[in-house]
Structure 1
Amino acid sequence: MNRKIGMVSSIINLVSVLLFALCMLTKFDFGSYLICMFIAFSFVPMISAFCNECDVARKTAGYSAMIFAGVYAVIILIVYFAQVTAVRLDGLNQQAMQIIDYSKFGLFFSYDLLGYGIMALSTFFAGLTIQPQNNSDKVLKWLLVVHGIFFVSCLIMPMLGLFSAEMQGSEWIGILVLEFWCIYFTPIGFLSYLHFKSTPA
């Protein structure tokens, strides 16, 4: 069962990341927000599967990865559920929209970056749990660990006020950054699937 959960969640994560990239390119905002929720839904069991299979000496890293995955999911689900409900349906006033609307680069945008920073911490610790058995495992391990670098930028950038709705080309800059992330994270989902598939049942 644990192996199957790891495999299925990895595939869902992979497909969700690809769909997220497609929705951004086609400027289908509702689709982007909805898909991001499924990235979170699939990420938690995927990371939990890494934690489950690691040996006792790596359990601290595994538990850390799992807890950070849960924190990431909570933040991201709050941000994007707000986008597909309150922002889209409730006719909020300008002040409320400035805070909640992701595209305004306000508080919820900062929360979003924080969420992905916490996700990066989760992948860093998940990478530490892997004892590579083949070349694809080695690549997966380093992709997960190096992804942890994003924690620093995601944490610091909102504090520096680098993003604002008035910034010229801000929308395209945001899309390019997220597309780069999708390109980076796509092989993680695929290699995670291969990893769990090769794990003894």
Structure 2
Amino acid sequence: MAVLGFALCMIIGSDFGSYISSMFIAWGFVPMICSFASYSEKETKAFSYTAIAFAAVYTVLIMVVYFAQLTAVRLLELSNQASQILNYKSFGLFFSYDLLGYAFMALATFFISFTIQATTKSDKWLKALLLIHGIFSVSCVILPMLGVFKADMAGGDLIGILVLEFWCAYFAPVCILSYLYFRRKQ
């Protein structure tokens, strides 16, 4: 639900809703990864533990970024320099932290994919989607280092919305397939 809420908030332009939804995604992601880990076999426990650690790092980074957006950025009169650093929309440090957080999310999905015993067609899709999602980690780390995102970038907001909507369209099936996976495991 949080992924769909995030997609909707991006479309209607609700920053507040987008940030809250992102926090709920993070709060749900760690239990999801831990649930996968609880079903992992002995020989894949290292993958499970790695995924849990990466999920925890993702959550901390995301919570710092979006909590700052909902508190300091939204409620305080920030200097121009502080705003450039803290305001997600300035493509500054906190935007880079956000991407770093999503790199850890992608790494968590990559590693947890190795724990899934794909016995059904939907399990095979889930495993593939989680594995492929791991590839996003590379771009999430490299693009900020290359300075691709800038505050004065033409069409930056639209590009950001389109990329995030693509991510939602990609990740929503992961959530649905995960639900089906866990339901079968019970």
Residue identity opposite 2:69 in structure 1: Q
2:75 alignment partner AA: L
> Within 2, Cα distance between the matches of 1:118 and 1:66?
10
Find the aligned partners of 2:163 and 2:43 in 1 and give their Cα distance: 36
Question: Which secondary structure state, in structure 1, belongs to the residue aligned with residue 148 of structure 2?
Answer: coil
Cross-structure match for 1:184: 170
* Match status 1:118 vs 2:101: no
The 5-angstrom pairing of residues 1-201 of structure 1 reads 15-200=1-186
Q: Distance in 2 between matches of 1:93 and 1:191?
A: 45
Return 5+ residue gaps in structure 1 as ranges.
1-14
**CA offsets 1:10-33 (integer angstroms, 9 cap, x no match):** xxxxx0000100000100000000
- The alpha carbon displacement at 1:136 in A equals 0.5
* 1:40-79 deviations in Å (ceiling 9; x for gaps): 0000000000011100000000101111000000000000
In structure 1, distance between residues paired with 2:114 and 2:171: 17
* Alignment-mate amino acid for residue 39 of structure 2: E
TM-score by length of 1: 0.92
Partners of 2:163 and 2:66 lie apart in 1 by 18
Unaligned runs of 5+ in 2: none
Q: Deviations over 1:143-177 (max 9, x none)?
A: 00000000000000000000011110000001000
Counterpart of 1:196, as a letter, is F
- AA partner of residue 171 (structure 1): D
Separation in 2 of the partners of 1:30 and 1:47? 26
3-state SS of 1:49 partner:
helix
Whole-Å separation in 2 of the counterparts to 1:133 and 1:63: 23
Find the aligned partners of 1:93 and 1:166 in 2 and give their Cα distance: 18
